[in-house]
Amino acid sequence: MLAQLRTFLFLLFATATASAGQPAPEIRFSPVEAGHLTADHKSTGGVSMLDIDRDGNLDILITAGYDVSKRPERQPSRLYWGDGKGNFTLDEHNPLTEAITFGSGSTWADFDNDGILDCFISCQLEAGGVLARGLGNRTFEILSDAPPHTDKANTFSSTWVDLDADGNLDLLLCNNAYSAPDLPFLYRGDGKGGFTRITANDFADRKSSTGGAYFCDYDNDGLPDLFAPNNTGKAWLYHNDGSTRLSHVPLPELDRNPFPASGSAWADYDNDGRMDLAIACAQGGTALLFHNTATGFEPAPLADAHLISTNAGLVQWADLDNNGAVDCFVPNWGAGSLLFMNRGDGTFRRIDVPGLTDRVLFASSCALADYDNDGRIDMLIGQWPLRPGDGELIRLFHNETTNPGNWIKLELQGSASNRTAIGARIRLTATISGREVTQTREVSAGSGFRSQADLRQHFGLGDASSAKAIIRWPSGKLQTVDNLAAGKNHLIVEQ
């Protein structure tokens, strides 16, 4: 019955689209040669593609990994300033890149609420993470005499969150993703750059091999919850009770998965207002999708994904054709990547894209964002192979999809909430192909695994020319903004 209903809804959606006279989009991605960015032979610990200097154009930080085939050597990160036209200029003399280390991803947010983005670079081999305060004018101050830098760990990824909705960002470090189990480090922030480690809760006291752990309010109670993958045991879901305590929530269907979980990403793929969970499973497992039913999670198919073995460490979501439904991209390690396009009815079709899915990559990180401001989401893929060579090169793909839908971007600025609005929930409603569609996004500092994309939230609008947004800020405030025009970036300040 459910399958018949989904088929009916898809036919209805397809008929409405055809009747509107809009030709179907053709998904195209073209490899881009972008100077030093795509020619530098250094293994990539992680990628972040977002507007660091707040000039409206996306910039890129590549955290350096190391050659795993020999004794590890520290390397500098690479910082590139974008001009919004597809050009990226390397900044070789910046405090952020002069911190030589064993980099493994970066996470960005404004931890001191001064309007300037700050950064934490995860570092492996107990090198001590790099905490960098943004000073403006593309400069940073490295805070190296206090936690989290002084708490040496084997950190593979990290993310910002406001656990207790006090307006100050907290920090999670995921340790030993591909090593023996160890404790994760969870810190409470004071809003001034000071961080105190939190213990005595289910998550912080449990040893695991945690990589791509990310927060999301899965039960719509206004508090960020956490999914934590585990490469040496069972992955766990944690519920936030509002006092910085994270308690384990059983997820039986996940427990039956025989493969280790490496990365994760949250998205409302069926536009029902609840955030669903995608999981990347390395070592031959398949990408898993769990539908949020409001009372729990149930497995859902990613097209024919149950027939495909992968070695994917991460998974990402974005609306690649701007039809009003997010698509799923699974970059693979040592094989071609997988792309699942959302039909708009809660089901997917796997497609092959020449130049993208037919290339063997050693993908270790991936950011999906619109680097040239043309309204189409592009792809940046970092590689970390087992030996030096072209497998280390950064891969940049430009989205050249024909006949994409309209789009809109929302940039949120908190006042009572944290300045970068981490944890804010957006419900965007527009009339697409004659029917009302409401999409949900949650602002987060990263997804997948050691990856972060634009903090501005991109929505596909199909043939809609405007939309209405209802924002639930981390402070609990609700704010409605009407008549948002398509084809623009809108700054919304918490009122």
The 10s digit of each residue's pLDDT in 171-198 is 999 999 888 899 999 999 999 999 999 9
If residue 226 lies in a helix (H) or strand (E), which one and from where to where? strand 225-228
Assess contact for 447 and 334: CB atoms under 8 A: no
Weakest mean pLDDT among 86-90, 204-208, 470-474? 204-208
- In the structure, what pLDDT confidence band is assigned to residue 306 with cuts at 50, 70 and 90? low
How many residues can be counted in the chain? 495
pLDDT tens profile 400-417:
999 999 999 999 999 999
Q: Is the pTM of this model over 0.85?
A: yes
What the block records as the tokens of 433 is 């192909």
Assess contact for 58 and 370: CB atoms under 8 A: yes
Query: How far apart are alpha carbons 259 and 249 in whole angstroms?
Result: 20
Query: How far apart are alpha carbons 165 and 474 in whole angstroms?
Result: 6
Assess contact for 298 and 348: CB atoms under 8 A: no
The answer on pLDDT for 13 being more than 80 is no
- In the structure, what pLDDT confidence band is assigned to residue 8 with cuts at 50, 70 and 90? very low
Section 340-352 average pLDDT: 93
Q: How far is CA 320 from the centre of its chain?
A: 15
The answer on pLDDT for 6 being more than 90 is no
Query: How far apart are alpha carbons 191 and 169 in whole angstroms?
Result: 7
Query: How far apart are alpha carbons 435 and 345 in whole angstroms?
Result: 13
pLDDT tens profile 20-66:
456 889 999 999 999 999 999 888 999 999 999 999 999 999 998 88
If residue 493 lies in a helix (H) or strand (E), which one and from where to where? strand 489-493
pLDDT of amino acid 309: 65
CA proximity to 394, closest of 405, 403, 381: 381
Query: How far apart are alpha carbons 23 and 16 in whole angstroms?
Result: 12
Of residues 284 and 465, more confidently modeled? 465
pLDDT tens profile 274-291:
999 999 987 777 788 999
**Phi-psi bin for 416: left (phi > 0), alpha (psi -120 to 50), beta?**
alpha
The strand order across the sheet containing 489-493 reads 457-462, 406-413, 489-493
CA proximity to 220, closest of 478, 494, 482, 495: 478
- In the structure, what pLDDT confidence band is assigned to residue 260 with cuts at 50, 70 and 90? confident
Residue 8's SS3 state is helix
- In the structure, what pLDDT confidence band is assigned to residue 251 with cuts at 50, 70 and 90? confident
Neighbours of 180 (CB within 10 A): 9
Contacts of 191 (CB under 8 A, 6+ apart): 111, 112, 113, 167, 168, 169
The answer on pLDDT for 9 being more than 50 is no
Bridge partners of 411, per DSSP, are 491
**Whole-number mean pLDDT of the chain?**
91
If residue 118 lies in a helix (H) or strand (E), which one and from where to where? strand 118-123
Section 421-439 average pLDDT: 98
DSSP codes, 162-218: -TT-SSS-EEEEEE-TTSS-B--EEEEE-SSS-EEEE-SSTTTT--B---S-EEE-T
Weakest mean pLDDT among 111-120, 385-394, 477-486? 385-394
Query: How far apart are alpha carbons 273 and 265 in whole angstroms?
Result: 16
Q: How far is CA 193 from CA 52, 133, 331, in A?
A: 18, 8, 34
pLDDT of amino acid 256: 77
**Using CB atoms within 10 A of its CB, is residue 490 exposed (0-12), middle (13-18) or buried (19+)?**
middle
